[in-house]
Amino acid sequence: MTGAALPAPRITAKQRPGDRIFSSAAVLAGSLILVTLAAVTIFLIAQGIPGILAEPGETTILRDRDFWSYVGPLAFGTLWAAALALVMATPLSVGIALFISHFAPRRLAQVLGYVIDLLAAVPSVVFGLWGGLVLAPLVRPMYAWLTENAGWIPIFNGQASATGRTILTAAIVLAVMILPIMTAINREVFLQTPRLHEEAALALGSTRWEMIRMAVLPFGRAGMVSAAMLGLGRALGETMAVAMVLSPSTVVSFFVLGSTNPNTIAANIALSFPEAYGAGVNVLIATGLVLFVVTFVVNALARYVVNRRREFSGAN
Partner 1 sequence: MAVTTATPNALTNGRLPRLAPWAILLGSWAVVAVVMGLFTLAGTVGEFSLVGTIFFGTILYGVAIYVVSLSVEGRRQAVDRLVTALVLTAFIIALLPLVSLLTTVVANGTARFDLDFFTMSQRNVVGAGGGALHAIVGTLLMTGVATLISVPIGLMTAVYLVEYGRGALARAITFLVDVMTGIPSIVAGLFAYAMFALIFGPGVRMGFAGAVALSVLMIPVVVRACEELLKLVPNELREASYALGVPKWLTITKVVLPTSIAGITTGVMLAISRVIGETAPLLLVAGFTQSMNYDPFDGRMQSLPVFVFTSYANQGTDGAAYIERAWAGALTLIVIVMVLNLAARLIARIFAPKLGR
Contact positions with partner 1 (CB under 8 A) in 204-233:
207-210, 212, 230, 233
Query: Is the CB of 27 or the CB of 196 nearer to partner 1?
Result: 27
Of residues 130 and 157, the one with the C-beta less far from partner 1: 130
- Closest contact distance (angstroms) between CB of 4 and partner 1 is 35
Q: Which stretch binds partner 1 (CB under 8 A): 49-57, 61-69, 90-98, 250-258?
A: 90-98
Show contacts with partner 1 in window 108-167 (CB under 8 A): 112, 115-116, 118-119, 121-130, 132-135
> Minimum distance between the CB of residue 194 and partner 1, rounded to whole angstroms?
21
Q: How far is the CB of 258 from partner 1 (least distance, A)?
A: 21
Name 249's bridge partners: 262
239 binds partner 1 per the rule CB under 8 A: yes
In the complex with partner 1, the residue whose CB is nearer, 40 or 154, is 40
Of 191, 216, 214, 192, the C-alpha closest to 204 is 214
Position 170 contacts partner 1 (CB under 8 A): no
Which residue in the set 11, 29, 106, 153 belongs to the binding site for partner 1 (CB under 8 A)?
Answer: 29
Report residue 203 CA to chain centroid gap: 39
Measured from the CB atom, is 115 or 254 closer to partner 1? Answer: 115
Binder of partner 1 out of 22, 68, 145, 254 (CB under 8 A):
22
Measured CA to CA, the distance from residue 112 to residue 100 in angstroms comes to 7
- The DSSP H or E segment spanning 79 is helix 67-98
Q: Decide if residue 11 touches partner 1 (CB under 8 A).
A: no
Secondary structure class of 196 (helix, strand, coil): helix
User: Sign of the C-alpha dihedral, residues 219, 220, 223, 225?
Assistant: negative
By rule CB under 8 A, what string of x and - marks binding of each residue 240-279 to partner 1? x--xx---------------------x--xx--xx--xx-
Give the C-alpha distances (Å, rounded to integers) separating 266 from 237, 243, 285, 295.
6, 8, 10, 12
**DSSP character at residue 155:** G
Can residue 98 be called a binding residue for partner 1 (CB under 8 A)? Answer: yes
If one asks whether residue 50 binds partner 1 (CB under 8 A), the answer comes out as no
Query: SS3 breakdown of the chain: % helix, strand, coil, rounded to 5?
Result: 75, 0, 25
Q: Which of 81, 227, 246, 284 binds partner 1 (CB under 8 A)?
A: 284
The conformational region for residue 158 under phi > 0 = left, psi -120 to 50 = alpha, else beta, is left
For 51, residues 6+ apart whose C-beta sits below 8 A from its C-beta are 67, 279, 281, 282, 283, 284, 285, 286, 287
